[in-house]
């Protein structure tokens, strides 16, 4: 009988280190080929989660994993296990580093002192994954990097597990490698599904079976094994079709939604002027990559309804919003990553021209602003936007003149005036543009009033109109008028988040109690500008936030919510003005242009926009109509995956049974074996205790230590083979030999001994009838 040498007297010994770590070259190369095919098939499915799919990088990682497998096989033949392990660790680290590079991680991020920034980016990508749809077309580079890196890491892990050098007469941990490759294939199947789920599942089943068993089969067994795999694959396909139903077995979409951030910020961008008491915890809501800083706009509040500023929703979206000067820094592309915001409004800046196709469906609701389609933005969404953000100098603003373009809506020089007489309809007062002397009539005159002056004289805004007229008369240009208005609004005013209640909050803020927050400062400024003939509007959104120099992007938090003013200058466009004092606790401000009218400074840490709050327990669904939902085109994904798993399990059982059956009639190494020797030979092989080829039963009995019952097992086998009585070993003798096989090897050795010499049905029957 064949096997390795016996060493320790009185105990079965393991084979020598060199032969235990080696595997036949043909078997090793067979496993490598099967691994390469399986990993390539699964990796291409993984890369399909991104658009465009990084197939070239994926092929590179698979090729590198195959080369690493060859290196690990070579290391397995080394006589010193410690050196083999050290070399294998180096190969694994190198392969993982290559996976980082292939995923798109910049080389500078791999330097140890940048690992904290790299980890923060990966965490950002991971936290956004539950909210994204696949295939991912978004603009968040960290989501793309994280997805690509996950696939590369799984390939690297599978390669290391498949070919790691070991002391046993096998290499690697094929079951662990198979688990990594199943994950590599299963995740994209669950997320979006293949076009041909049954065919893909069948191919994966065959490749997985080849990886697990092909190296162990002899030429004579290939036909039987192939038939078993084909049969199991067919049964799996039938089972998958039967398991397919209208409702999922596992609602992984609902699970993913529950993993999304539950405290996404929601804002009511219209003005309210009440005390600020909404929760603000400084959590991150946006990351914006832009060439220059800007105030990040959500909506324009174009209507003053006689009490507060709000969005009218009446401006036609197809009219122009601004003249455009094609300066390099005035037109820029933003990349916006939503980290914790629920909003129908896209966050942009200045005048937005377009939202890229890489994000949710965008609908232009008003000139220069966009909203989502059926579903709002949610954490995990990302997109690009092309915007016009002019940065004029003070000289350019002073010389802009008063030649206003015709496309400016009359609404930007209007306000609603509530009548003093109950029951009479409100009137809309339209003011004359700066630089003209004509007087506009109200849209809806009442009580015989036809002019703006008497209309306002009978309203709560008489003092404001008188103030605006005075400041206009003292100003030679719109810019000079703007400066005077800003100075008057700020003069003597105090920033306070608890202003007193008032029937007319802006008038109280301007002329009585001079306390208020950004809504008061912005609302009063825009109202005075309109009364003086300068086209103006209030804007809501976020101040610039904090610039991250390592990642070259602006980090915007919920306490950066803000309101400011935009005034129109001919030949330039809408210019940002932030009248809120620099001493106010707005988180960040910027000098948006060279002039003092927009000047502010970085200050404080708190917001000044009410309306924030928490959402309910269930988040909104994604608004990405261009992405394939997990339950569209892939409704059979989970049943198909279960069917594939069932096919693999059936194949495992059939092939194992076939191989075991053949081994009962053949030797462990392929030669014929007598029935009385097959159990002993199989037990010694499974336990890693192969005797030398020249060892006879008598010599094996003589070298075996331990109990008399264990030696009696060998005597019974020898008697069965050569003697006249063929009774064979007794159950007690089998237990004694099993004990000897696992002696001194701990729990794992005892478990292996049970696998090497399992109890027979006859033994179990005798135990049940024992008195």
Looking from the CA of 328 toward its CB, the CA atoms found within 13 Å total 0
Mean pLDDT of the chain: 75
Q: How far apart are the first and last CA of the chain?
A: 39
Lowest pLDDT segment from 91-105, 132-146, 268-282, 718-732? 718-732
pLDDT at 700 over 80: no
Instruction: Give the Cα separation of 559 and 770 in Å (integer).
Output: 78
pLDDT at 86 over 70: yes
Domain boundary among 617, 644, 665: 665
567 vs 192 pLDDT, higher one? 567
81 within 8 A of 165, measured Cβ to Cβ: yes
pLDDT at 80 over 60: yes
Taking only the tens place, the pLDDT of each residue in 389-439 is 999 999 999 999 999 999 998 899 999 887 656 666 678 888 989 987 655
The residues, any chain, with a CB within 8 Å of residue 32's CB and separated by 6 or more, are: 66, 69, 70, 73, 163
CA dihedral (229, 250, 35, 135) in degrees, to 10, reads 120
Domain boundary among 192, 222, 248: 192
pLDDT at 239 over 50: yes
Instruction: Give the Cα separation of 640 and 644 in Å (integer).
Output: 6
605 domain residue, yes or no? no
Domain identity same for 532 and 660: no
Highest mean pLDDT: which of 166-175, 208-217, 365-374, 686-695? 365-374
446 domain residue, yes or no? yes
Question: 188: closest CA among 134, 265, 259?
Answer: 134
Q: How confident is the model at residue 131 (pLDDT cuts 50, 70, 90)?
A: low
The Cα-based distances of 729 to 81, 350, 725 in angstroms read 38, 90, 11
Domain identity same for 569 and 648: no
3-state helix, strand, coil split of the chain in percent (to 5) is: 45, 15, 40
270 domain residue, yes or no? no
347 within 8 A of 541, measured Cβ to Cβ: yes
Question: 481: closest CA among 473, 492, 489?
Answer: 473
For residues 355-383, average pLDDT: 89
Domain identity same for 362 and 460: yes
The three-state secondary structure class of 64 is: helix
Say which residue the tokens 């939604």 belong to. Answer: 257
Instruction: Give the Cα separation of 503 and 494 in Å (integer).
Output: 20
pLDDT at 668 over 90: no
Domain identity same for 334 and 440: yes
pLDDT at 699 over 70: no
Instruction: Compute and round to an integer the Cα radius of gyration of the chain.
Output: 39
607 domain residue, yes or no? no
In terms of residue numbers, what domain contains 562?
284-391+404-598
Instruction: Give the Cα separation of 686 and 190 in Å (integer).
Output: 38
**How many helices and strands (H and E) does the chain possess?**
23, 19
Question: Which region, left, alpha or beta, applies to residue 582 given φ > 0 means left and ψ of -120 to 50 means alpha?
Answer: alpha
Domain identity same for 558 and 681: no
739 vs 17 pLDDT, higher one? 739
Domain identity same for 649 and 705: no
The residues, any chain, with a CB within 8 Å of residue 34's CB and separated by 6 or more, are: 207, 210, 211, 214, 215
Q: How confident is the model at residue 171 (pLDDT cuts 50, 70, 90)?
A: confident
Domain identity same for 586 and 657: no
pLDDT at 213 over 80: yes
Instruction: Give the Cα separation of 397 and 165 in Å (integer).
Output: 73
Domain identity same for 441 and 560: yes
717 domain residue, yes or no? yes
Domain boundary among 611, 644, 665: 665
pLDDT at 642 over 50: no
Facing residues of 21 across strands?
none
pLDDT of residue 129: 75
Domain identity same for 748 and 645: no
Phi and psi of 467, rounded to 5°? -65, -45
375 domain residue, yes or no? yes
Domain identity same for 231 and 150: no
619 domain residue, yes or no? no
Count how many domains the chain has.
Answer: 4
Phi and psi of 449, rounded to 5°? -80, 130
284-289 and 553-557 strand pairing: antiparallel
Q: Which two tokens stand for residue 197?
A: 């789920």
Question: 100: closest CA among 89, 85, 115?
Answer: 115
Instruction: Give the Cα separation of 304 and 273 in Å (integer).
Output: 13
Q: How many residues can be counted in the chain?
A: 771
Question: 163: closest CA among 330, 34, 18?
Answer: 34
pLDDT at 442 over 80: no
DSSP string, 588-608: -----SSSGGG------S---
pLDDT of residue 393: 92
The Cα-based distances of 118 to 106, 112, 140, 717, 738 in angstroms read 9, 10, 15, 64, 53
Lowest pLDDT segment from 220-224, 265-269, 305-309? 220-224
Instruction: Give the Cα separation of 680 and 2 in Å (integer).
Output: 11
Lowest pLDDT segment from 74-83, 418-427, 653-662, 706-715? 653-662
467 domain residue, yes or no? yes
pLDDT of residue 634: 37
pLDDT at 622 over 50: no
The Cα-based distances of 699 to 285, 465, 693, 718 in angstroms read 77, 116, 12, 11
Burial of 661 (0-12, 13-18, 19+ CB in 10 A): exposed
Residue 610's CB: how many other CB atoms inside 10 A?
21
Q: Which two tokens stand for residue 107?
A: 């080389």
DSSP string, 124-190: HHHHHGGG--SSB--S-HHHHHHHHHHHHHHHHHHHHHHH---SSSS-S-HHHHHHHHHHHHHHHHH
Residue 592's CB: how many other CB atoms inside 10 A?
27
Question: 443: closest CA among 454, 430, 457, 456?
Answer: 430
pLDDT of residue 753: 73
Burial of 333 (0-12, 13-18, 19+ CB in 10 A): middle
Highest mean pLDDT: which of 278-282, 487-491, 696-700? 487-491
pLDDT of residue 551: 82
515-516 and 494-495 strand pairing: parallel
531 within 8 A of 304, measured Cβ to Cβ: no
382-388 and 369-372 strand pairing: unpaired
Q: Which two tokens stand for residue 67?
A: 């080369």
Question: 530: closest CA among 403, 410, 391?
Answer: 410
Instruction: Give the Cα separation of 33 and 42 in Å (integer).
Output: 14
Question: Which region, left, alpha or beta, applies to residue 688 given φ > 0 means left and ψ of -120 to 50 means alpha?
Answer: left
556 within 8 A of 296, measured Cβ to Cβ: yes
Domain identity same for 635 and 682: no
Domain identity same for 39 and 175: yes
pLDDT of residue 660: 46
Query: Angle at CA 502, nearest 5°, toward 500 and 506?
Result: 95
Question: 268: closest CA among 310, 306, 296, 302?
Answer: 310
pLDDT at 41 over 90: yes
Taking only the tens place, the pLDDT of each residue in 509-568 is 999 989 999 999 999 999 999 999 999 999 999 999 899 887 889 999 888 899 999 999
């Amino acid at each position: 009988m064949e096997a390795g040498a016996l060493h320790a007297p009185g105990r079965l010994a393991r084979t020598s280190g060199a032969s235990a770590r080696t595997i036949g070259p043909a078997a090793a190369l067979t496993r490598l080929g099967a691994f390469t095919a399986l990993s390539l098939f699964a990796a291409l499915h993984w890369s399909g989660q991104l658009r465009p799919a990084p197939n070239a990088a994926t092929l590179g990682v698979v090729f590198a994993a195959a080369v690493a497998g060859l290196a690990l096989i070579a290391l397995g033949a080394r006589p010193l296990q410690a050196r083999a392990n050290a070399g294998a660790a180096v190969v694994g680290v190198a392969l993982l580093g290559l996976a980082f590079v292939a995923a798109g991680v910049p080389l500078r991020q791999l330097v140890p002192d940048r690992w904290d920034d790299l980890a923060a980016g990966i965490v950002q990508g991971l936290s956004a994954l539950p909210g994204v749809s696949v295939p991912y077309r978004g603009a968040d580079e960290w989501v793309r990097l994280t997805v690509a890196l996950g696939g590369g890491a799984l390939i690297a892990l599978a390669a290391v597990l498949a070919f790691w050098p070991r002391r046993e007469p096998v290499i690697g941990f094929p079951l662990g490698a198979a688990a990594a490759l199943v994950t590599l294939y299963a995740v994209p199947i669950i997320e979006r599904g293949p076009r041909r789920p049954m065919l893909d599942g069948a191919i994966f089943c065959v490749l997985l079976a080849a990886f697990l068993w092909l190296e162990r089969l002899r030429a004579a067994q290939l036909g039987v094994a192939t038939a078993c795999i084909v049969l199991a694959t067919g049964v799996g396909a039938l089972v998958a079709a039967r398991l397919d139903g209208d409702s999922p077995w596992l609602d992984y979409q609902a699970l993913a939604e529950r993993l999304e951030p539950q405290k996404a910020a929601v804002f009511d961008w219209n003005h309210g002027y009440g005390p600020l008491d909404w929760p603000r915890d400084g959590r991150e809501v946006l990351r914006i990559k832009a060439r220059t800083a800007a105030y990040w706009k959500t909506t324009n509040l174009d209507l003053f309804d006689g009490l507060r500023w709000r969005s009218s929703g009446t401006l036609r979206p197809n009219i122009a919003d601004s003249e455009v000067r094609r300066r390099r820094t005035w037109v820029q592309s933003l990349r916006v990553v939503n980290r914790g915001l629920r909003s129908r409004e896209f966050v942009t800046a200045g005048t937005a021209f377009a939202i890229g196709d890489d994000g949710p469906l965008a609908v232009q609701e008003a000139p220069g602003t966009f909203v989502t389609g059926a579903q709002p933005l949610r954490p995990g969404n990302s997109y690009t936007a092309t915007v016009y953000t002019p940065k004029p100098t003070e000289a350019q603003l002073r010389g802009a003149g008063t030649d206003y373009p015709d496309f400016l809506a009359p609404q930007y020089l209007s306000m609603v005036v509530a009548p003093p007489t109950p029951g009479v309809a409100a009137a809309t007062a339209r003011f004359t543009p700066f630089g003209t002397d004509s007087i506009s009539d109200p849209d809806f005159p009442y009580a015989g009033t036809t002019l703006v002056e008497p209309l306002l004289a009978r309203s709560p805004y008489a003092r404001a109109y008188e103030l605006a007229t005075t400041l206009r008369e003292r100003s030679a240009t719109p810019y000079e008028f703007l400066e005077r208005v800003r100075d008057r609004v700020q003069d003597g005013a105090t920033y306070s988040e608890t202003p007193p209640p008032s029937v007319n909050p802006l008038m109280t803020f301007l002329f009585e109690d001079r306390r208020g927050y950004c809504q008061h400062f912005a609302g009063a400024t825009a109202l005075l500008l309109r009364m003086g003939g300068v086209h103006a509007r209030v804007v809501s959104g976020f101040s610039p936030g904090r610039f991250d120099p390592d990642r070259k992007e602006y980090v915007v938090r919920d306490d950066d919510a803000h309101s400011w003013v935009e005034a129109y200058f001919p030949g330039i466009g809408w210019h940002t003005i932030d009248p809120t004092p620099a001493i106010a606790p707005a988180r960040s401000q910027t000098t948006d242009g060279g002039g003092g009218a927009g000047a502010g400074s970085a200050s404080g840490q708190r917001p000044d926009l009410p309306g924030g709050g928490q959402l309910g327990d269930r988040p909104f669904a994604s608004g990405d109509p261009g992405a394939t939902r997990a339950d569209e085109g892939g409704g059979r994904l989970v049943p198909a995956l279960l069917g594939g798993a069932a096919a693999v399990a059936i194949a495992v059982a059939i092939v194992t049974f076939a191989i075991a059956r053949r081994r009962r009639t053949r030797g462990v190494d392929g030669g014929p074996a007598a029935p009385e020797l097959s159990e002993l030979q199989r037990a010694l092989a499974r336990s890693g205790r192969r005797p030398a080829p020249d060892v006879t039963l008598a010599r094996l009995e003589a070298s075996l230590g331990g109990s008399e019952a264990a030696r009696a097992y060998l005597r019974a086998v020898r008697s069965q083979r050569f003697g006249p009585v063929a009774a064979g070993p007794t159950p007690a003798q089998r237990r004694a030999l099993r004990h000897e096989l696992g002696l001194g090897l701990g729990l794992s050795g005892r478990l292996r001994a049970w696998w090497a010499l399992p109890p027979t049905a006859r033994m179990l029957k005798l135990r049940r009838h024992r008195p």
